[in-house]
Amino acid sequence: MAFSYQAKEIAAPIEVEDLIESVRKAYRGDGVEAMHAVAGKLQSLAANREYLRDALIAKLERIAGEQNLVSFAPQSFIIHRAPPFSLRLNLWLPPAGSARKIAQEARVYSYDQAHDHNFTLLTVGAGGPGYKTRIFEYDIESIQGYGGEHVEMQHLEDTMLPMGKAMIYRPHRDIHVQLPPEAPSMSLNLLIEEKEIVETPQYYFDLATSSVVPMNDNEIGRRVSFLESVGHFADESCASLLFDVARQHRNPEVRAGALHAIRTGFPGRQPEVESIARADGHPLVLRELRDPEAAHA
């Protein structure tokens, strides 16, 4: 289950360098184990109000100094990098205003979107009462990952992230859905980006039907969408690259997307598509043989 550490009565503030030094010492390849070791340290960093204030000031200065904020994220932003570790600050607002504004902000804040993480995450409440969250558990090895696929999941708890409380979310194990807080809130995240985990896609879920929701708004989804589109315009100069992606890419969704593009742009090369899919053997890739349209619905 997701692990919780209740707020300390007294959390002596520390500097960000103290946290990073501790997590470097603790991390030996198991992200969840390392997060257990430094949960108290992150609680202490969240108690450093000057550090959090300075992070917000830096964001404000970016708005004041830049005219074109094409990569600006209003709700969640990295405030420190020390690869493979990073710190992220998140702002959470309760619904307010018109129905259109509420719907728009729900998308910005990812409210009511059940999802897992493809990285190890430790979070602590850093201001306000905190968002509400429902937490479920699933086994990623039990799914192939296509849209509409049924997922066996177990409800673990409904909880909140008030100021000072820390929680660890296990990658590809814990599903959670964030619900709006009762008052403006803030959280501080420590992330470990483990290469073998990050290369596996993050999944979104429909809790009403216990199924996978196809999402294009992530790194893998954006690549697959591009491949599906380029298949309509590809000529022979693109074909060899598409075949390279179909044979060699590490991610099966991307390999399947490349085969879909080849099928779209080069219908005469169907035998090669079938040969590559069978040699690949991954269920997501093999779906291109059975029902290619449904595979990308």
Give tens-digit pLDDT for 119-132.
Answer: 899 999 999 999 99
Q: What is the DSSP string of 146-186?
A: -TT-B---EEEEEEE--BT-EEEE-TTTEEEEEE--SS-EE
Instruction: Name the nearest CA neighbour of 188 among 158, 157, 165, 218.
Output: 165
Contact 257, 224 (CB under 8 A): yes
pLDDT given for residue 217 in this prediction: 58
Please report which confidence band the pLDDT of residue 275 belongs to, taking 50, 70 and 90 as the band edges: very high
pLDDT given for residue 202 in this prediction: 85
Residue 136's alpha-carbon distances to 42, 176, 262, in angstroms, are 24, 6, 38
Please report which confidence band the pLDDT of residue 73 belongs to, taking 50, 70 and 90 as the band edges: low
Q: What is the dihedral of CA 66, 71, 74, 80, to 10 degrees?
A: -90
Mean pLDDT of the chain: 87
Is the pLDDT at 193 greater than 90? The verdict is: no
Residue with tokens 């290369």: 199
Is the pLDDT at 211 greater than 70? The verdict is: yes
Determine the topology of domain 3-213 in CATH.
Jelly Rolls (2.60.120)
pLDDT given for residue 71 in this prediction: 52
Give tens-digit pLDDT for 9-35.
Answer: 888 999 999 999 999 999 999 999 999
Question: Domain boundaries in the chain?
Answer: 3-213, 219-295
Give tens-digit pLDDT for 92-113.
Answer: 988 887 888 788 777 778 899 9
pLDDT given for residue 216 in this prediction: 61
> Which of 45-54, 65-74, 190-199, 220-229 has the least mean pLDDT?
65-74
Q: How far apart are CA 80 and CA 55, in angstroms?
A: 9
For CA atoms 129, 132, 137, 142, the dihedral sign is negative
Is the pTM for the entire model greater than 0.85?
no
Give tens-digit pLDDT for 33-72.
Answer: 999 999 999 999 999 999 999 998 888 777 676 655 555 5
